[in-house]
Amino acid sequence: MRTGQLLLLLGAALFLALQVVVFNGYHNEVGLTTQQVAKDTQLEQQLALVLQENTKLKGLYTKLEEQLSEAEQQVKKAAEEVAREQQVHGRDGSNRQKFPLYISQDGGHEGVHDMALTYAPLIRYLNHIEDAEPVKRGKKENVAYYRIANHYKFFMKTFFDCFEYPKLIILEDDMELAIDFFSYFGATAGLLDQDPSLYCVSSWNDHGQDRFVRNTLQLYRSDFFPGLGWMLTRDTWRGFREDWPDSYWDDWIRLNKTRQGRQCIRPEVCRTYNFGEKGSSKGFFYKRFLAPIRLNDVDVDWAHTDLSYLQPDRYAREFEATYAAAPLVASPEVAMSAKGDVRLFYDSQEHYEAITAVFGMLREWKDGVPRAAYKGVVTVFIEQARIFIGPSPSFKPPKLIDLSDKPVLVDQTGALLRGRKVGPLDDLGAA
């Protein structure tokens, strides 16, 4: 820490300013010669410079204090969340064998390190220290996105290639778990083993805001990778580890060329809640789309729940029958006032964004796939209606944008910022 050094600099600047003010006052009492006026002017200029530097130093010191306080709060929140996760984990005595817990820390923050070790031996600890600072492709890019990608690569290599675990559930440190979190993943793990068309199982629904969900038992197949509490297999990791990106890993993992037609299982009602308003993405979607998420509070016995409807052929057959039977409506307003199932067509990505703007939904697409979509169809509940938002027969697929190196810029609802197709991360946001 450099706080002491800053305190010394501030003290020196204040003392020099005080000296100049006293000396300047002396000149005002005795009368001034031309030479003294010149000297006085020079001293006034020095005073202005000193005061300016003093203000800068004060601002820097205040900023460091705020950052230190924020870091301490983050460590405290992380410790509280680990304690809550232990409570959920400890509800079933067999979880310790089925789901051994690890904390993987990126960087050398002592507070995080000390907090993690307080949970030993119940929770094991890993620490990723980078060899050198990542090299960014763009000057305006946030280096955090490079560090996150490197950290993910580190712990997946560790767990899959070194420890040889068959599956891994990945959680970030700002997530609260539902009461049935481990039961949910225990029951769905078998689906990953049996179904090669699956990419992952996720605990997250991007449209899981309280106003859009109803059934805590309902699970879906989706072409969109949700993340935010997700499970993958060792085989999936080994299939893409050689191509792992150096930044924006979540954009890359959503690419069609990475996903290769595979789908994810997701719940209607989320099994995780993200409380991290401040982070690498600067809380871009937080207040509007993350804070209103409903976290499941029903203790579902997933081990005795029939999940056979999620088998790919059966799911496709039953979904298509339900979708075809839903009456077609002409506008979002009509859909919202309906009772029961209705269909609403979109003709383009821009048209989809216009429809979902009326509903107040997160409107984002990645590589031609809307968030939470199955075969282009997004399902939400509004009042007494279940609304299927799907592509029309005349749908025009969007021109795909290369997400490999840079994120796509979107507004605060996830709609694409047209005219600025690709660019470095800035205050407009990227996901």
Q: What number of other Cβ atoms are within 10 A of residue 330's Cβ?
A: 9
Catalytic residue among 250, 301, 347, 411: 250
Q: How many domains, in total, are found in the chain? A: 1
Kindly state the tokens that stand for 290: 């993350």
CA atoms of 219 and 387, how far apart (whole Å): 16
Residue 370 burial (C-beta neighbours within 10 Å; 0-12, 13-18, 19+): buried
pLDDT (0 to 100) of residue 61: 65
Q: Which helix (H) or strand (E) holds 87?
A: helix 34-89
CA-nearest of 372, 396, 387 to 331 is 387
Q: Is residue 58 part of a domain?
A: yes
Q: Is residue 318 part of a domain?
A: no
CA atoms of 132 and 337, how far apart (whole Å): 57
Coil, strand, or helix at residue 340? strand
Q: Is residue 154 part of a domain?
A: no
CA-nearest of 199, 203, 195, 262 to 230 is 203
With a cut of 70, list the residues of the chain below it in pLDDT: 1-41, 43, 47-48, 50, 54, 57-58, 61, 64, 67-68, 277-284, 401-407, 419-431
3-state DSSP helix/strand/coil % of the chain, to nearest 5: 45, 15, 40
Beta carbons within 8 Å of 87's beta carbon, 6+ residues apart: none
Q: Which residues pair with 410 in a beta bridge?
A: 416
Q: 62-105: per-residue pLDDT in tens?
A: 776 776 677 777 777 778 878 888 889 988 989 999 999 999 99
Kindly state the tokens that stand for 13: 């600047």
Q: Is residue 142 part of a domain?
A: no
Specify the amino acid at residue 176: E
CA-nearest of 334, 329, 338, 326 to 384 is 338
Q: Is residue 282 part of a domain?
A: no
Contact 229, 266 (CB under 8 A): no
Strand order across the beta sheet in which 340-346 lies: 328-329, 340-346, 385-391, 378-382
What are the backbone dihedrals phi and psi of residue 416, each rounded to the nearest 5 degrees, phi first?
-65, 135
Strand 101-106 with 378-382, pairing: unpaired
For residue 219, CA distances in Å to 13, 81, 91, 320 come to 64, 26, 23, 16
Q: Is residue 22 part of a domain?
A: yes
Contact 425, 142 (CB under 8 A): yes
pLDDT (0 to 100) of residue 1: 36
State the DSSP code for 180.
T
CA-nearest of 381, 278, 398, 283 to 335 is 381
Entry pTM: 0.80
Q: Which residues pair with 84 in a beta bridge?
A: none
Q: Is residue 74 part of a domain?
A: yes
CA-nearest of 359, 360, 395 to 377 is 395
Kindly state the tokens that stand for 195: 């179904």
pLDDT (0 to 100) of residue 174: 87
Domain that holds residue 46: 1-101
106 is catalytic: no
DSSP string, 210-263: GGG---TT-EEEESS---SSEEEEHHHHHHHGGG--SS-HHHHHTSHHHHTT-E
For residue 123, CA distances in Å to 118, 171, 266 come to 9, 14, 27
What are the backbone dihedrals phi and psi of residue 264, each rounded to the nearest 5 degrees, phi first?
-115, 150
Contact 370, 376 (CB under 8 A): yes
Q: How far apart are the first and last CA of the chain?
A: 32
CA-nearest of 101, 106, 107, 105 to 119 is 101
Q: 189-229: per-residue pLDDT in tens?
A: 999 999 999 999 999 999 999 999 999 999 999 999 999 99
Specify the amino acid at residue 318: E
CA atoms of 296 and 421, how far apart (whole Å): 37
Q: Is residue 267 part of a domain?
A: no
- Phi and psi based region of residue 414 (left: phi greater than 0; alpha: psi -120 to 50; beta: remaining): left
